[in-house]
Amino acid sequence: MSPGATEALTSGALPITFSDVLAAESRLRPHLATTPLRHYDELDALVGHGIRVHVKHENHHPTQSFKIRNGLNAILGRTLEQRGRGLIGASTGNHGQGIAYGGRLTGTPVSICVPIGNNPGKNAAIRALGAELIEVGETYDVTVRECARIGAERGLVLAHSTNDPLVIAGAATMTLEIVQQEPELDVLVIALGGGSQSVGALAVAAARRPSLRIYAVGATGAAAQYESWKRGEKLERQPIATFAEGIATGSAYDLTFDALRAGLSGFVTVTDVEMYAAVRDLIRITHNLPEGAGAAGLAGLRTLAPELAGLRVGIVICGGNLSERDLRIALG
């Protein structure tokens, strides 16, 4: 088990400061409502071990994902000159929607690169928000590289989904809300793709709640981040085979790797079968629709439950943009 958030702060591993988080909160507050943090007795019974489960409903944002925090802060934190040039980002959908939403709000031109064969619903949502959609790359890692190339050729400002302090600070505002809503929370269990949610949580915990333990959940079929964390070395271009686009990551990232290594209290992976079951359970109990990554927290908590017995644990429905195909499989 890695040290906690306080150690991450003292080691200098965090890529943002708490002042960055407060600045992001100030930018976002006029545009985004606080999302609910709710308790469901049935979830307590499902997880067992005397755990009290709190659910952060980031699926209640206008784009149904926490990444509206990331994308909107990535635009509002930029200069007018940078906005005038236009922003470009690579995404499997939710980061792209967040940037596109910010682009429409501020009149900033936005281009989003997505993998070929990406979730059609997410593609349609990006286009509906007025962004240019570019389908390129067979995998997300290839899409990221092509996005950087296209951005450089066009002179656009790159808004990376992870390697951007503004993105991470935006994500951190979620945990700032959580610790204000439930000051006695012991643990947060968070889906981890690039790591903006988890590293944002570590930054807030270090400043406001050093006792808060952060656990990450990855997909067994996209284990690059988990293996990187476990081995202590950044892996790249690893295989990806999961329906959970939000955590379908084949590489570790420079800006989040050190903080994750220093600060996470634990890291588990879950299978697609376990995430589909969690989608089904969350629909039944909370009457909310989570996507695969949005259900990963519950799936991971069920694995971690014996270790977290008797604690107050937060999970996050970080996204609700599940495809019709995957909904049918989940309810199957």
User: What average pLDDT does the structure give for the chain?
Assistant: 95
Give the range of the structural domain holding residue 81, as residue numbers without chain letter.
Answer: 67-158
Partners of 316 in the β-ladder: 56
In the predicted structure, residue 4 carries a pLDDT above the cut 60 = no
Does 133 have pLDDT greater than 80? yes
Beta bridge partners of 315: 55, 189
Residues 200 and 106 in one domain: no
Domain boundary among 113, 142, 158: 158
pLDDT in tens, 80-119: 999 999 999 999 999 999 999 999 999 999 999 999 999 9
- Confidence at residue 126, expressed as pLDDT on a 0 to 100 scale: 97
The domain boundary residue, chosen from 121, 137, 158? 158
pLDDT score of 8? 44
Query: 154: phi > 0 → left, psi -120 to 50 → alpha, else beta; which?
Result: alpha
Q: Please list, in sequence order, all residues whose beta carbon lies within 8 angstroms of the beta carbon of residue 70, skipping any fewer than 6 positions away.
A: 95, 98, 161, 166, 167, 168, 170, 171, 196
In a shared domain, residues 195 and 49:
yes
Confidence of residue 12 (pLDDT cuts 50, 70, 90): confident
For residues 264 and 118, membership in a common domain is answered with no
Query: Same domain, yes or no, for 175 and 243?
Result: yes
Q: Which residues contact 238 (CB under 8 A, 6 or more apart)?
A: 222, 223, 224, 227, 250, 251
Helix residue ranges, H only, the chain: 5-10, 18-28, 41-47, 67-76, 80-85, 94-106, 120-128, 140-154, 165-181, 196-208, 224-231, 254-263, 272-286, 292-304, 324-331
> Rg (Cα) of the chain, in Å, rounded?
18
pLDDT of residue 243 exceeding 70, the answer is: yes
- 261 and 169 in a single domain? The answer is yes
**What pLDDT sits at residue 282?**
98
Q: Could you tell me if 215 and 278 lie in one domain? A: yes
pTM higher than the cut 0.85: yes
Residues 180 and 109 in one domain: no
- Total tally of structural domains belonging to the chain: 2
In the numeric block, which tokens belong to residue 329? 């499989």
Mean pLDDT, residues 220-235 taken together = 97
Name the residue among 2, 56, 4 with its Cα closest to residue 203.
Answer: 4
Q: What is the CATH number of the domain that holds 121?
A: 3.40.50.1100
Q: Do 148 and 290 belong to one domain? A: no
The pLDDT value recorded for residue 3 is 42
Give the residue carrying structure tokens 């951007």.
164
- pLDDT (0 to 100) of residue 11: 53
pLDDT at 141: 87
In a shared domain, residues 139 and 266: no
